[in-house]
Structure 1
Amino acid sequence: MEDVLTELPPPSRFLEEDLNIFIPSSPSLPPFLVLSDPYTNETLRPSLLIFAISPPSLHIFHYAASKTLVGTLILPEIPMSGNTIIPSLDNKSANIYALNDTEKLVLLVSFQFHVPAERCHAVSKLLLGEKIVPEKVLILDSVQIQKFRGKLSRDDTVAYKLQTSLERKLCNESLEGSSLLTDVNYYPSGSVVDALAAALLARCQIKNIRGTLCVSWPEFGKPVMHLIRSLLMKDVLPHFDFSSASYDNDGGVLKSSWLKDPLLDTELYT
């Protein structure tokens, strides 16, 4: 009779390299920043740091002329082949700009590619609290209808906000300049925000930075562009020149998003 405790186990049906296909490979190189002079060897301390993630915010800031390119975020796994030298909405890039028509230093990070979930923490850590230490942070993203608890129709144009504890405390104390988006309602309880926007807001909370996340609906269209632009002009950058950010410029943000999401024509999310 065979001794089951000492007998060698039968060989696996899979080779070791075959088993590795079930384990997602971790990126070998970390993300990094490339900054131009005179920002290379200094810690940036902007009064406001804006993250543009949603298509409307990308479109508005792309066509705003009063900005200067000061750096870029590099994700090694994101191919840069096909990118143009002149900044374009079609480029896969995450450029960092200084906004010119402001009294204090205001930085903008324009994310024109999707950051994988496993990289969001590393990206947020790189951009908040190490090389860049902002006083306030504004994150502009879109509502994902699958993660929204409530009713949204194709005719709605809305924006909601989430804040860090420090920002909400200052807002409740009614201090002057304490809130970036005073007239925007809070994101409904039970709704979810994930990916890069959530990682950035969580990083603000950890570092005790005044952070606000603004999510808007719908993802595309002139009405939502008008809404975001009006919020920026009223509560965020009242003296910044948005005149060149025309709604008629073609950047993909004006297209209809309904055709690519057939679930919106059902009763599942309404």
Structure 2
Amino acid sequence: MDDVITDIPPPSRLLLEDLNNFTPPPPSLPSPFLVFSCADSKKNFSPSLLLIAMSSPSLHLLHHLSSKNLIGTLILPEIPLAGNSVEPSLRNKSCNIYALNEADKMIMIVLVQYSVTSERANAVARLLIGEKITPQRVLILDSVQSHNFRGRLSPDETIAFKLETSLERKQSDGNASFVKGMDYYPSGSMVDGLAAALLSRCQLKKIKGTLCVSWPDFGTPVMSLIKSLLVGNVLSGVNYTIDENYEDAYLKLSRRKDRTDSDLYT
């Protein structure tokens, strides 16, 4: 006679995947979309350079570039607009698009001031590159994520690396590198999220694209590094002005960040 206590019970008549049939699927999120000013709503843009800033120092520096004009914004429906100020602010959760006109060329600047999930990264990348906006060249500025970096990252060490599309890399091999004096991202390290989606979009659309990642995300040295990259390299020869108080404002922000981080470990 079988021992009903110690014998292996018979399999359930319901498989695990069958249980999902009783759970309604989560509602799909509305698609992100672009909103431009009335004068620009029907235009297609072909800027000579599209600058996309996501790291703290690049956002701060480009926010204080007073020569730019606000022309549009990217709306991600799940990001609430409550609490945002009417005027552009670094405190806003927004993704504003600006134009910096230089003679007959246009430079477009995108300040991504909210976190984009991996699930939404490709949809956002498609809006920014290759549909209404078709740039000749793209530069993405992001931070090194410590969990994706193969090696030790010291908070006292300022570093930056770059990744390029094959078209940009081919031109770089001819000693005409767009971003000069920067090492390539170490083998074995990863980039994910929106930065990876944007660079992949450039590769897919055969656009010259460069992703620069810097570490750490706060501090005067990393701000100096990003400023040197933009002012002395990328925007060389372009007429623009930067607010005089941007360095003091960033120093205060960095100190608040350092104090917050130190409080976590006391």
| TM-score range for the pair, normalised by the shorter chain length | 0.7 to 0.9
Q: Distance in 2 between matches of 1:91 and 1:36?
A: 19
Q: Which residue of 2 aligns with 1:6?
A: none
Q: Give the TM-score, by structure 1 length.
A: 0.84
C-alpha contact 2:172 2:178 (8 A) present in aligned 1: no
Q: CA deviation at 1:40?
A: 1.2
- Give the whole-Å Cα distance in 2 for the aligned partners of 1:262 and 1:255: 11
User: What secondary structure sits across from 1:71 in the alignment?
Assistant: strand
Q: Tell me, which stretches of 5 or more residues in structure 1 are unaligned?
A: 1-8, 266-270
Q: How does 1:141-220 map to 2 (within 5 A)?
A: 141-174=142-175, 178-220=176-218
The letter for the 2-side match of 1:228 is I
* Count of paired positions: 249
- 1:241 to 2:237 alignment: no
Query: Is 2:29–2:78's contact at 8 Å kept on the other side of the alignment?
Result: no
Q: Which of 226, 229, 232 matches 1:228? A: 226
Classify 1:254/1:226 alpha carbon distance in 2 versus 1 (closer, same or farther; 3 Å): farther
Greater fraction helix: 2
Q: What corresponds to 2:23 in structure 1?
A: 19
1:255 is displaced (CA, Å) by: 3.9
Residue in structure 1 matched with residue 107 of structure 2 by the alignment: 106
For 1:240 and 1:140, the matched residues in 2 are separated by 21
The CA distance in 1 between the partners of 2:27 and 2:253, in whole Å, is 32
The 3 A distance-change label for structure 1 pair 262 and 206 is: farther
Return the offset for 1:16: 7.0
What are the ranges of 5 or more consecutive residues in structure 2 without an aligned counterpart?
1-12
Q: Deviations over 1:26-78 (max 9, x none)?
A: 64310100011432112100000010000101100111111100000001111
Q: Deviations over 1:186-207 (max 9, x none)?
A: 0111111111000000000011
Per the normalisation by structure 2, the TM-score is: 0.85
Q: Displacement, 1:261? A: 8.7
> After superposition, what is the alpha-carbon deviation per residue over 1:108-158, rounded to whole angstroms, capped at 9, x for unaligned?
110010011110000101111100000000000000112111232121111
- Give the stretch that moved more between structures: 29-38 or 207-216: 29-38
Mapped to 2, the partners of 1:242 and 1:160 lie a distance apart of: 27
Residues 220-239 of structure 1 deviation map (CA, whole Å, 9 limit, x = unaligned): 11110111011101210023
| Alpha-carbon distance between aligned partners in 1 of 2:258 and 2:191, rounded to the nearest angstrom | 19
Separation (CA, whole Å) in 2 of partners of 1:244 and 1:215: 24
Counterpart in 2 of 1:34?
Answer: 35
The one-character-per-residue Cα deviations of 1:165-191 (angstroms, maximum 9, x if unpaired) are: 0000011022xxx43211111011111
Percentage of matched positions with identical amino acids: 50
- For 1:97, what is the secondary structure of its paired residue? strand
1:14-93 counterparts in 2 under 5 A? Answer: 19-20=23-24, 25=26, 27-93=28-94
Query: Aligned letter for 1:241?
Result: Y
Classify the secondary structure of the residue corresponding to 2:200: helix
